[in-house]
Amino acid sequence: MKAAVIVFPGSNCDRDLQVALRSAMGAAPKMVWHGDSDMPDVDLIAVPGGFSYGDYLRSGAMAAKSPIMKEVVARAGKGVPVLGICNGFQVLTEAGLLPGALMRNAQLKYICKDVLLKVAANDTAFTQAYDQDQVIRIPIAHHDGNYFADDDTLNELEDDNRVAFRYCDAAGTLSEDANPNGSQRAIAGIFNKNRNVLGMMPHPERLADAKLGGADGKPMFDGLVQALG
């Protein structure tokens, strides 16, 4: 498998994502600068977390207009898998690759902690290495992670099985207490209509090695290699 990680000014998880992919792939992904207009021939494009352009204007809004994003959108339209994590999720919504928006957390505070997620759909390249409804522990670190969409969009996501992950408690139960940012329907990650684009607020790359204190994120990268390698 060949992969590319997009690097924006303000990215702070690009190297983390590089390490997680390299561990799974056995080779380093290409690091592609946001100002480039050419994308190498790759099987996966990853848009990392961080604070692209300092979150000025609106989280992900300026990064979505970077030259490389035209090629990311084009490749996604041709079926190339695209993974957006945290700020990457925000960028993908701003670029029109995913519906809805990431708003300010309900408690209006930056949150950095481990959370529990329920795997809501395990029939994609991104999630195939997890069990359906499996509860996993993944860190979050965001100020604008409150997923919002209108009711028609939310119903469409539900009907098409395009919700990837939901915030939950240890028993897999959805509740207000288990929802760290107020996201509608406890949504932590979603797919596009063709299910080749995944945006998620939690950071699987930060728990992809037991040396980091856990490896619940590792199956995502291993599964991608298995599906695309």
Catalytic sites, residue numbers: 86, 203, 205
Residue recorded with tokens 């939950």 = 168
List of residues 6+ apart from 149 with CB closer than 8 A: 99, 100, 101, 157, 184
Give the HSE-up count for residue 59: Cα atoms under 13 Å, Cβ half-sphere.
24
Contact call for residues 79 and 196 (beta carbons, < 8 A)? yes
Chain-centre distance for alpha carbon 12: 14
Contact call for residues 202 and 164 (beta carbons, < 8 A)? no
Q: Compute, in degrees rounded to 10, the torsion defined by CA atoms 34, 40, 41, 47.
A: -20
Closest CA to 128 of 81, 79, 171: 81
Encoded tokens for 102: 């990431």
Closest CA to 171 of 120, 122, 139, 134: 134
Q: Which amino acid is at 118?
A: K
- State phi, psi for 7 to the nearest 5 degrees: -120, 120
CA gap 165, 172 in Å, rounded: 11
